[in-house]
Structure 1
Amino acid sequence: MRARPNMATILLGASLLGLLGLLALLALGTRIDLAVYRLGGDAFLHGLPLYDQIMPGTGLPFTYPPFAALLFGPLAVLPKPAAQLIWAVTLLACLAALTRQVLAVARTGLLTSRPLPLAVLAAGVLATEPIRSNLAYGQINIPLMLLIIIDLRRRSGPLPAGILIGIAGAVKLTPLIFIPYLLCTGRRRDAGWAALSFSACSALAALATPTDSARFWTRLALDPSHVGGVAYAGNQSLAGVATRLAGHAIHDETWFRLVTLSTAAAGIGLAVAATRRHEPLLGWTVCGITGLLVSPISWTHHWLWALPALAWLAGPARPRGGRFAALGGFALLVLAPMWWLPYEHNREYSWHGWQLLIGNSYTIAAVLFLLTVLGHLLLSRPAAASTAADGTIPDQPAGPLMRPAAGQIADQIVAGHAVGSAERTALAHPEPNPPSSTTTLS
């Protein structure tokens, strides 16, 4: 008798067919944002004014720093289907690597050892709107986030930690929020390498395109409107919400700048506190979400940091009710209800009542997540330290357990420099970490 194929074989075959179909789909049509990247690369190769080029049919300009145009020069010389296929393979490979990195730090890696949970996880990740949009538009956010996570985990091979974050910041400015985070957690050398690599990449672009670089850094980098309408429904930053509520642009007003600075400081402080509590993924996620909140423009496809937030909420270190919160967050990312409302042509200014809730739902969920993290840090005991080579923070003196939690967090923020040296020691000399039933999601 012929043996029946087992579940693993069936899932593997279905996954391969689905992958081939997805690649074929992504190679056809037009990946709008990839077309804009190629527009910038083509302008660089032909010496054209970078920020005067407009993509035919859409009116979209190139909005990234000049260094990004240098990187996309090679894709600009390829035929569109070939460029889109190469970019689709790159995005899917980076997504797989990014998911693996996040699961490793979240200590839920055992999920990927079983075919059915792995297939469900992959389907769930692909179903979320930030991932769908990144693939559909040909966006660059997935590779940039992978660079950041690799650097934060010190998995960058021969390169000093911090360099990949600097490169990501030279392509897109929002990763730069991780430089003050590295400083505050005592990883001063990593922060220095990040700043140095960002400066070197930007200087290289300035040598190649001096006029475009001067225009970007003196004018365009300070003007979020050149990226798109701040009030647009897809902008789920604090500036987007406040603009829709006020009915006019507010990003240049003094009071809002103070709100932005205060939010950034509070978010980085919370990220440092989480890192000091031996919860590195939580610290990185809080920092990434803070960056999305304070950036003038955070389109829905920028919100990839919501995925590790779900991993923490559902993982072994989850807070009380974390799994229910993760389920609600997953539903929000799949449904993306802001697109159910009237949008474009400033129709966002007419939102009222319940429309304001679902139209600003990513931002509201992010604020609730940060408040949940604050409560978790105030009310729970510190997580057990680990010296495993999976990116977790090693053992450190936690201070007297009977001290008030708020006082402990304040000390953690002030004394963040202790983290960096301990991280370096543990990651350089990892110890084996025996499997435990607590590392699975039951």
Structure 2
Amino acid sequence: MSSSGRSASSGPPSCSPRRRAWNSPTSRPRCRPRAAIPATSAGSARTRAWTAAAAWCCSSATTTCARARPSTPCRSPSCWPRAADITGATVVDGEQAAGVDSTLQRATAARAPVLTLRQAGVLLGLVGLVTGICLALPAKSDPWHDFFDLRVYHGAVQWWLDGRPLYEFRYNATPYGLTYPPFAGLLLVPSTLLSFPAMVVVHTVASATVLVLLVRWLITPLARRHGWALPFAWLAALPLAFLLEPVRETLGFGQVNLLLAGLVLADVVALRRGWRWAGAGTGLAAAVKLTPAVFVLYLLVTRRLRAAGTAVAVAGAATLVTFAVTPGTSWQFWTETLWQTERVGQVDKVANQSLLGGLARLADPDEPSRALWAVLAVVVLAVALTRAARAVRAGDELAGIALTGLAACLVSPISWTHHFVWLLPACVVLLDLAAGRPRAGEVRRAARARWSAAAGLAAVVLIWSSSVVWAFDLRSPHHWDDGWAGMVPQNAYLLVTLALVLLLPARAPVRE
């Protein structure tokens, strides 16, 4: 049954015009006010689709086609509601249609076209292309890092299985060892059954697959909204994503950042579709690496309490299982290793583009002020979560995810450049605004917004693909040798990310 008590098969529940009055120029369809449309629906996909149609009807039932008589509502197929109309992306009567909540988004998503065989072939081809590039570059290019972090993971777990303490492993006499919670070590145990070259292939294929899926998930709604052909949109977006340093460094080091981002963004899809286990991906990501735990706060401030509880439960269960399997290693990590930030790396290195890294380069490379860092971290996180919550209320989930991910990187004590994969959704938000169409009466202001977004997108891509910070890698600890001319480039990624957290555009909140 629908929310109004009528059968879902009998028509839209909240829009029931009298047939004899429909063509009357003085009569309007008898619609419930927009605010009366329920925010949630426990019915079937068909019921939710009727609810979405009712929302569109109530916002535009009296709209007439300019080519028709004023007394006759437009029945031309070109004037029928599209998915974008129902979700508030097009113009009706000179005003933007009311944004509809996640229930209506799920209703329209249920009718999304299924992936065609041709599109699936394009995606598989892109996965093969990325995998081939990643496997070929180490032999041709020293800066590709030769899967260094993956070598650390593989060596640390093999060391552990040989009966030695997991967190005492150091790779080839370097200061680097495993820094993740012991649950990550448990997940890596099966990898020891493979040779290292085989592990490289498996990891690269997995990361390339997630990258292509992320590009598809991020670009497809944008392409459909602006009328771009999907295969060409994916083909154009993937090289741009590959240009960004976080993406190519993640692939070159053999890091897990893309895999963790895929888990978090899978939860967004699960939330949109109303799945019961939404939040489990965030919980798994937080159990593998602590930084994604910030997304639990995101779920709380956006009032997804069930998903937040699921994330906490999954992360807690994974941690308890690890305690049961290896209590000594777990106790060592949570009581000692976790607090030894020097094990992760040198704080003032230019590769660390977190707030603490910036303070270390600006003030004291050896002992940056932890109190000042804590204050700045709280402020940045509060601003990001506040803006993320407002963005989600406005219907811009992508901006909320981007703001939260970038803030998580900033507040972490150590955030290497490959951690900032959350630039991908931020760039898509800017691209969407830059390619948008102005609303009626706001052409001039919309033009300024589009040009500003285009300039911001160009700046983000150019700076984050330039590797500018690495030109000063050998300055440590003498970061001021070149004055401000050297200090600004050393912190370029940090400054751009701060600007995104403060200025990344999101649609204005919907007025009820």
Q: Is the 8 A contact 2:224 2:230 kept in 1?
A: no
Q: Which residue of 1 aligns with 2:502?
A: 371
Equivalent in 485, 489, 497 of residue 354 of structure 1: 485
Q: Which residue of 2 aligns with 1:259?
A: 376
Shift, 1:24, TM fit: 3.7
Q: Is the 8 A contact 2:131 2:208 kept in 1?
A: no
Q: 1:148 aligned to 2:284?
A: no
Q: Which residue of 1 aligns with 2:72?
A: none
Q: Is the 8 A contact 1:251 1:257 kept in 2?
A: no
Q: Is the 8 A contact 1:233 1:359 kept in 2?
A: yes
Query: Cα–Cα, structure 1 residues 26 and 83, in superposed 2: closer, same or farther, change >3 Å?
Result: farther
Deviation string 1:44-71 (CA, Å, 9 cap, x unpaired) is 4333201001111544211111111011
Q: 1:186 aligned to 2:303?
A: yes
More deviation, 236-245/349-358? 349-358
Distance 1:122 1:223 in 2: 37
User: What is the RMSD of the two structures over their aligned residues, measured on CA atoms?
Assistant: 2.8
For residues 97-112 of structure 1, what are the structure 2 equivalents within 5 Å? 97-104=213-220, 106=222
Equivalent in 122, 137, 145 of residue 238 of structure 2: 122
Distance 1:16 1:273 in 2: 35
Q: Is the 8 A contact 1:292 1:303 kept in 2?
A: yes
Secondary structure of the 1:346 match is: coil
For residues 127-138 of structure 1, what are the structure 2 equivalents within 5 Å? 127-138=243-254
Q: 1:90 aligned to 2:206?
A: yes
Q: Which amino acid aligns with 1:224?
A: T
| Count of residues in correspondence between the two structures | 372
Deviation string 1:204-260 (CA, Å, 9 cap, x unpaired) is 112222122112111222232221111111000000001111123456632321221
Q: 1:66 aligned to 2:182?
A: yes
Q: Which amino acid aligns with 1:229?
A: Q
Deviation string 1:312-342 (CA, Å, 9 cap, x unpaired) is 0111487441012101111112112101124
Q: Which residue of 2 aligns with 1:22?
A: 133
Q: Is the 8 A contact 2:282 2:293 kept in 1?
A: yes
Shift, 1:350, TM fit: 4.1
Q: 1:230 aligned to 2:347?
A: yes
More deviation, 155-164/49-58? 155-164
Equivalent in 320, 329, 334 of residue 217 of structure 1: 334
Q: Which residue of 1 aligns with 2:387?
A: 270
Shift, 1:161, TM fit: 0.7
For residues 292-311 of structure 1, what are the structure 2 equivalents within 5 Å? 292-311=409-428
Distance 1:295 1:286 in 2: 14
Distance 1:262 1:13 in 2: 43
Q: Which residue of 1 aligns with 2:431?
A: 314
Q: Which amino acid aligns with 1:91?
A: S
Q: Which residue of 2 aligns with 1:335?
A: 466
Distance 2:499 2:213 in 1: 28
Q: 1:248 aligned to 2:384?
A: no
Q: Which amino acid aligns with 1:25?
A: A
Deviation string 1:172-205 (CA, Å, 9 cap, x unpaired) is 1110001111111111111111111111111111
Distance 1:127 1:107 in 2: 20
Distance 1:112 1:69 in 2: 43
Q: Which amino acid aligns with 2:246?
A: P
Q: Is the 8 A contact 2:391 2:508 kept in 1?
A: no
Q: 1:398 aligned to 2:495?
A: no
Distance 2:124 2:289 in 1: 37
Q: Which residue of 2 aligns with 1:169?
A: 286
Distance 1:83 1:140 in 2: 13
Q: Percent identity?
A: 29
Q: 1:325 aligned to 2:462?
A: no
Secondary structure of the 1:96 match is: helix
Query: Cα–Cα, structure 1 residues 13 and 303, in superposed 2: closer, same or farther, change >3 Å?
Result: closer
Distance 1:14 1:210 in 2: 44
Q: Is the 8 A contact 1:235 1:297 kept in 2?
A: yes
Equivalent in 145, 149, 157 of residue 33 of structure 1: 149
Q: Is the 8 A contact 2:282 2:311 kept in 1?
A: yes
Q: Which amino acid aligns with 2:384?
A: G
Query: Cα–Cα, structure 1 residues 106 and 288, in superposed 2: closer, same or farther, change >3 Å?
Result: farther
Query: Cα–Cα, structure 1 residues 16 and 216, in superposed 2: closer, same or farther, change >3 Å?
Result: closer
Distance 2:166 2:226 in 1: 47
Shift, 1:104, TM fit: 4.0
Distance 2:138 2:276 in 1: 33
Q: Is the 8 A contact 1:310 1:326 kept in 2?
A: yes
Q: Structure 1 stretches of 5 or more lacking a match? A: 1-7, 383-396, 400-442
Equivalent in 43, 51, 62 of residue 167 of structure 2: 51
Q: 1:203 aligned to 2:320?
A: yes
Deviation string 1:375-432 (CA, Å, 9 cap, x unpaired) is x46xx744xxxxxxxxxxxxxx634xxxxxxxxxxxxxxxxxxxxxxxxxxxxxxxxx
Q: Is the 8 A contact 1:341 1:359 kept in 2?
A: yes
Q: Which residue of 1 aligns with 2:77?
A: none
Deviation string 1:254-280 (CA, Å, 9 cap, x unpaired) is 232122122212211111111111111
More deviation, 350-359/208-217? 350-359
* Superposition TM-score, scaled by structure 2 size: 0.67
Secondary structure of the 1:56 match is: helix
Q: Which amino acid aligns with 1:154?
A: A
Q: Which residue of 2 aligns with 1:425?
A: none
More deviation, 195-204/103-112? 103-112
Q: Is the 8 A contact 1:112 1:118 kept in 2?
A: no
The one of the two structures with greater contact order (alpha-carbon pairs below 8 A, sep at least 6) is 1
More deviation, 141-150/263-272? 263-272
Query: Cα–Cα, structure 1 residues 152 and 308, in superposed 2: closer, same or farther, change >3 Å?
Result: same
